[in-house]
Structure 1
Amino acid sequence: MGMATDSAIKDAAPKSPWPKNAWYVACTPDEIAEKPLGRTICGERMVFFRSGDGAPAALEDFCPHRGAPLSLGFQREGRLVCGYHGLVVDCRGKAAEMPGQKVGGFPASRHFATIERYGFIWVWPGDPETADPSKLHHLEWAESPEWAYGGGYYHIACDYRLMIDNLMDLTHETYVHAASIGQKEIDEAPVRTRADDHEVVTSRYMDGVKAPPFWQMALRGAGLPEDSTVDRWQVCRFSLPSHVMIEVGVALAGQGGYEAPDEAKASSIVVDFITPETETSHHYFWGMARRFAVDDHALTHTIREGQGKIFSEDLDMLERQQANLLRWPERRLLKLNIDAGGVRSRMMIERTIAAEIAAEGESPLVEEPISGV
Structure 2
Amino acid sequence: MKKNILYLVFIGFILGQFLISCKRQELAEPAIKKIISLQITGTTLPGDTLEFVKNGKVLLQTGFASFALSTKVSLEGESAEVQIRRKRDQLVIARKTIIAEAYNQVLTCYYDGQEVYDTLVDLEIKGYSGPDELEFMLDGVLVGSGTGTTFPSLKVTINKEKKRQVQIRKKGDPKILLDYEVLGNVALQKLVFYYDGVQLLDKIELGAPQNPANMLFSASFKSSVTVFSGPVDLVFCKGSIYENFENLPVTSHRIELNNDGSFSKNFELPALTAQDIADKLHYGIRLVKRGTLIDIPYDLTNELRPIYPRSGVHTGEITVSPGTAMLMVFKDSKSVYATGPASRRGTLFSLLGVDISAYFKP
- Normalising by structure 1, what TM-score? 0.25
Larger relative contact order (Cα-Cα within 8 Å, sequence gap ≥ 6): 1
- Higher helix fraction: Structure 1 or Structure 2? 1
Report the structure number with the largest CA radius of gyration: 2
- Higher strand fraction: Structure 1 or Structure 2? 2
